[in-house]
Structure 1
Amino acid sequence: MITVTNLSKSYGKKEVLKDVSFILEPSKVYGIVGSNGAGKTTLFRCIAGLESYNGHIHADRTPLKNYLGLLPADPYFPSKLTGEEYIYLLADARGIQVTDLEERNIFQLPLREYASEYSTGMKKKLALTAILLQRNRYFILDEPYNGIDFESALILTSIISKLRSLGKTVLISSHIFSTLKECCDQILVLENGQTGKMIAQDAFDELEDKMKKSAIGKDIDKLIEG
């Protein structure tokens, strides 16, 4: 379980997160939605221990960062490091020895090529493979479906379901609402750096309709002329 209480984060005078509070339980998949700039990625970085913040984050495994796998929206890889070396590096950081890597390469990545030269989708799949092989307890996936092919998206959905069945805690952001509807048990709404309600599955359609009305309500005639 991860408990976030009154978490706030500012960059200078700009307040990105304000008194954010929620609880993430084991064996559940949580989605998070919000417009660009709402603070989703900053929130993820705070939970992962990559940013300082005000407030409290508690977990039943400590230190939390040693049990958490973070998939960034745009994974970074050092030059001259192969995919295979990257996986071994992250596994070694957890004291884990990875064997039979070729059999575990379900995304069929060219592991002996430099990771920095991978396509966007391949980078995302490599980073995901690495944090899965770390045997983490918690997972934060920032826009995991962006840039990957249809077959890989199906595999990813199955992976998320498997993590839930293994008692893991998963937090996902996605601009593709249908993926959240399919994967998540609850969805957290983040607006202007503040948390709204935690939405249960039976209210997903209502949330989607609300988001559509908000988007369609924009005056697109001001942008597109006849």
Structure 2
Amino acid sequence: MIKIDKLSKFYGKKQVLNSIDLEFGKGKIYGIVGENGAGKTTLFRCISGLENYKGTISSEYTKLKDHLGLLLTEPFLFPKITGEEYIQLLTNARQKKLVNIEDRNIFDLPLKKYASTYSTGMKKKLALTAILLQENNVFILDEPFNGVDIQSNLVITEIIKRLKKLEKTVIISSHIFSTLAETCDEIYLMKNGEIIRKVTQIDFDNLENEMKEFTIRNQIDKLDLK
């Protein structure tokens, strides 16, 4: 389990996260939704140990970051490293032996080519493959479906479901609500650096309708289309 108590984050005088309390258990999938700038990525970076923060993040692991795979919206890739070398680098970091890489290349990536030449979707699939082969216990996936083709999105959805069966903890942000509704056990609505609502599966449809009403219809009404 991961427990977050009174988590706050400031960039200078600007407060980005405001006293967040959350718990994430094994074998469950959690969705985090909210408008751009709500604080989702900053929350993920704090959990992953990439940011300093106020409050506490505790887990059963001595060092959570050593058991956590983070998929960023735009994964960082060194300019002169092949796809295969990138995967090797990340698996070495977890002391995992990499075998039969071609057989495990489920997204059919050109692993012998420089990863910097990959498209946005290919980079994301490469980074996802790498953290999966690390055999992590916790996965944080920041917009895993954006920029990825439909077939690969179906594969990613099934991967997430498999991780649940393997008793992993999975935390996802996505603007594609249908993918969250299909995979998540709970969804948290985030606004202005705060968790303002927790929704379980029975109320997913209501949450989606509310989000459409407030974030889509109201914005379109401002255009006063005629």
* TM-score bracket for the superposition, by shorter chain length: over 0.9
* 1:67 corresponds to: 67
Aligned CA distance change for structure 1 residues 182 and 51 (closer, same or farther; 3 Å): same
> Within 2, Cα distance between the matches of 1:144 and 1:216?
22
* 2:205 corresponds to: 205
Once the two structures are superposed, residues 158-208 of structure 1 have per-residue CA deviations (whole angstroms, 9 ceiling, x without a partner) of: 100000000000000000111100010100111110112321000101111
> Within 1, Cα distance between the matches of 2:22 and 2:222?
38
Q: Which runs of 5+ in 1 are unaligned?
A: none
5 Å-filtered alignment, 1:94-113, equals 94-113=94-113
With normalisation by structure 1, the TM-score equals 0.97
The aligned amino acid for 1:19 is: S
The aligned amino acid for 1:5 is: D
5 Å-filtered alignment, 1:48-63, equals 48-63=48-63
* 1:181 corresponds to: 181
Aligned CA distance change for structure 1 residues 98 and 67 (closer, same or farther; 3 Å): same
> Within 2, Cα distance between the matches of 1:112 and 1:214?
46
Q: Secondary structure at the match of 1:158?
A: helix
Q: Post-superposition, which runs of at least 4 consecutive aligned residues in structure 1 deviate over 6 A?
A: none
The aligned amino acid for 1:60 is: E
* 1:80 corresponds to: 80
The aligned amino acid for 1:141 is: L
> Within 2, Cα distance between the matches of 1:217 and 1:153?
27
Q: Does 1:223 align with 2:223?
A: yes
Q: Does 1:147 align with 2:147?
A: yes
Q: Secondary structure at the match of 1:104?
A: coil
> Within 2, Cα distance between the matches of 1:137 and 1:62?
13
> Within 1, Cα distance between the matches of 2:7 and 2:154?
34
RMSD: 1.1
The aligned amino acid for 1:201 is: Q
5 Å-filtered alignment, 1:28-67, equals 28-67=28-67
Q: Secondary structure at the match of 2:45?
A: helix
> Within 2, Cα distance between the matches of 1:106 and 1:216?
36
The aligned amino acid for 2:85 is: E
Q: Percent identity?
A: 57
Q: Does 1:126 align with 2:122?
A: no
The aligned amino acid for 1:194 is: E
